[in-house]
Amino acid sequence: MAVVGVIMGSRSDWETMRHACDTLDALAVPYERKVVSAHRTPDLLFAYAAAAEERGLQVLIAGAGGAAHLPGMTAAKTALPVLGVPVESKALQGIDSLLSIVQM
């Protein structure tokens, strides 16, 4: 049973988020991964976050670029810890994501 949920806003975020999954694999920590967008599929995101603890997850790792709404919107729907991971963007090389996440 997964204890960590790894989520990302789009498939293009995988290049960043795969490092988290590689580390979880190396530590033999069971996890699930899912693409769920705060902008394109907010209802799916809210349902995922609201049911995460019920499914046995203990922490969520959310990767997003740009304004990085995914970690904050996820945290709004669960009491579980949510770790935000900034994903590099074309315009500002991920600085915008980093600044958004550290303010949450």
Q: Which sequence spans correspond to the domains of the chain?
A: 16-67+76-81
CB distance 97 to 43 below 8 Å: no
Extract the tokens encoding 38: 């705060």
pTM: predicted TM-score of the whole model, two decimal places: 0.93
How many whole angstroms separate alpha carbon 16 and alpha carbon 26? 17
What pLDDT does residue 89 have? 83
CA 25 to chain centroid? 17
Q: What is the pLDDT of residues 58-88, one digit of tens each?
A: 999 999 988 889 999 999 999 999 999 999 9
Query: Which residue would you say has higher pLDDT here, 91 or 79?
Result: 79
